[in-house]
């Protein structure tokens, strides 16, 4: 729905916190690493997008976690997001922001920093590093705000680190001087991906070829009650 993609267009890996564990026997996770290797080496995907979202429960749990060590499966899994928390508290996380407004709270700030951090983890995987080096793969960061029903794409030119709002028109936002095309790389995931105007959907989108619908001249007429015939005598 977010990328206007159809069945089979996307190879999706979902987990708590949209985390990409670093490769390695001790710190890694074979399930995520296997999915990355399969997507890059077998499916030959052209782009990978790390997508976070507003109100992420994993980021809330990370902020509220006790510093007593990982005990439960959730706490052990969230250790892969600890670098994101460190980025938030350091200088590296202060520049990660949404275009046009500041993050609403610490949870949203951490959600944004986590997308940037997990992209760095993704680059550490051998298959990804090789495909990037050969120019066969692109990486993208996305943040979806559930309440706004809006998607933001990460702009990393010259270390900008701004998540730019995606609009349906495909025209640059003059206020911020950025390309905010709704048919950007997040929707382009394979040779058959539709990146034309038909892929642009969402609130506020107007089909330029659509014909205007004439407005009603007045209130709709009230239908008359149907009269039943009198019963026949037996």
pTM above 0.85, yes or no: no
Host H or E run for residue 218 = none
pLDDT attached to residue 135: 97
SS (H, E, C) 1-31: CCCCCCCCCCCCCCCCCCCCCCCCCCCCCHH
pLDDT at 93: 53
Q: Rounded to 5 degrees, what angle do the CA atoms 51, 66, 147 make?
A: 35
Q: SS3 of 142, please?
A: strand
pLDDT, tens digit only, all 234 positions of the chain? 667 788 888 999 999 999 999 998 666 789 999 999 999 999 999 999 999 999 999 999 999 887 776 688 888 899 999 999 998 877 655 578 888 888 889 999 999 999 999 999 999 999 999 999 999 999 999 999 999 888 999 987 645 678 998 876 444 343 343 333 333 333 333 333 333 333 322 333 333 344 443 444 444 455 555 555 666 665
């Amino acid at each position: 729905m977010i990328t206007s993609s159809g069945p089979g267009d996307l190879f999706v890996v979902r987990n708590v916190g949209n985390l990409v564990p670093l490769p390695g026997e001790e710190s890694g996770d074979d399930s995520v690493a296997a999915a990355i290797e399969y997507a890059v080496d077998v499916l030959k995907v052209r782009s990978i997008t790390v997508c976070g979202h507003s109100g992420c429960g994993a980021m809330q749990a990370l902020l509220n976690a006790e510093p007593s060590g990982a005990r439960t499966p959730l706490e052990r899994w969230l250790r892969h997001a600890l670098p994101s928390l460190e980025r938030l508290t350091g200088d590296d996380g202060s520049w990660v922001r949404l275009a046009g407004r500041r993050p609403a709270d610490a949870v949203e700030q951490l959600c944004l920093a986590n997308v940037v951090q997990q992209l760095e983890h993704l680059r550490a995987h051998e298959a990804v590093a090789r495909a990037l080096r050969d120019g066969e793969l692109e990486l993208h960061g996305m943040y979806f705000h559930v309440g706004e029903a809006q998607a933001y794409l990460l702009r990393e030119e010259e270390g900008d680190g701004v998540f730019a709002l995606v609009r349906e028109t495909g025209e640059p936002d003059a206020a911020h001087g950025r390309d905010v095309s709704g048919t950007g790389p997040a929707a382009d995931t394979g040779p058959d991906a539709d990146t034309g105007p038909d892929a642009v959907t969402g609130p506020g989108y107007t089909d330029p070829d659509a014909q205007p619908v004439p407005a009603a001249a007045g209130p709709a007429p009230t239908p008359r009650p149907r009269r039943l015939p009198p019963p026949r005598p037996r």
